[in-house]
Structure 1
């Protein structure tokens, strides 16, 4: 559904949010280990989400990636998906046609739009705090 980059970005942001709730900053090597992502790939993804203002970074001995606690509940999955994959998941055609609409629908348009709308709603209403708390409590996991 999402690109590999987007999957890694979501997992990284959830992990960073969890660490931030505990007042910790985390380095990209620890992030890559936690989400099973290659280090260089993780570094590039983290640069993108920092550039988009989703997470913050600090350099130096006590540096790392973090999200100020007051912002964690205001960051939604839709922001991460848009930053990495653009708006295709919110507007795209179910079979990848460049032009698909109510006036000129593809064969799966009517069924796919309901799925796309439900997915969009989930992404727009799910914040990092609730996901990080699930990880912290042990109810959910970032890797197997």
Structure 2
């Protein structure tokens, strides 16, 4: 449902929310290494997120990417719309060009409630709320060093 770019973007924003602030900025290279994603691709993605005001950045020595308090109030839906656009949630599960409640595909009424639930959750979940859940539940945004943690 989400592109790899969108998945990388969400993980990068969560990483920044957990590890950065106005006084501690992080470069794209470090983020890419920690999340094990392609660095040039992530760097361009982060620049686009800065343009859309979902991530903050400064240039020069001591510069890098970070999230300020305003960035943390953005929702997962804001990130998805910035990277993938909202059209992915309008697409038919079976790939038909016209699928809706009036002209449903065979899977429409099975999939539609789940799509609506996910969509509402994405719209209601701010980055700050998601970070709280990550911290409280011990969920991971990277599998780097995962085997070492299990030993």
Aligned length: 143
CA deviation vs aligned residue, 1:3-22 (integer Å, no higher than 9, x gap): 11010000001111112358
CA deviation vs aligned residue, 1:12-71 (integer Å, no higher than 9, x gap): 011111123584211101110121101111111112211111111100111111121244
Quote the Cα distance in structure 2 between the aligned partners of 1:79 and 1:47: 15
Q: Which residue of 2 aligns with 1:96?
A: 95
**1:137 Cα deviation from its structure 2 partner:** 5.7
Q: Which residue of 2 aligns with 1:142?
A: 141
Could you tell me whether the CA contact under 8 Å between 1:58 and 1:65 is conserved in 2? yes
Could you tell me whether the CA contact under 8 Å between 2:54 and 2:71 is conserved in 1? no
Q: Which residue of 2 aligns with 1:77?
A: 76
Residues 1:45 and 1:142: Cα distance change in structure 2 (over 3 Å): same
Could you tell me whether the CA contact under 8 Å between 1:55 and 1:67 is conserved in 2? yes
Could you tell me whether the CA contact under 8 Å between 1:34 and 1:142 is conserved in 2? no
| Structure 2 residue 7 is the aligned partner of structure 1 residue 7 | yes
Matches within 5 A, 1:1-144: 1-20=1-20, 23-72=23-72, 74-136=73-135, 139-144=138-143
Quote the Cα distance in structure 2 between the aligned partners of 1:86 and 1:2: 10
Match of 1:92, SS state, is coil
Q: Which runs of 5+ in 2 are unaligned?
A: 144-151
Match of 1:48, SS state, is helix
TM-score for both structures, normalised by structure 1? 0.89
**1:135 Cα deviation from its structure 2 partner:** 4.3
Quote the Cα distance in structure 2 between the aligned partners of 1:14 and 1:7: 11
Match of 2:19, SS state, is helix
TM-score for both structures, normalised by structure 2? 0.85
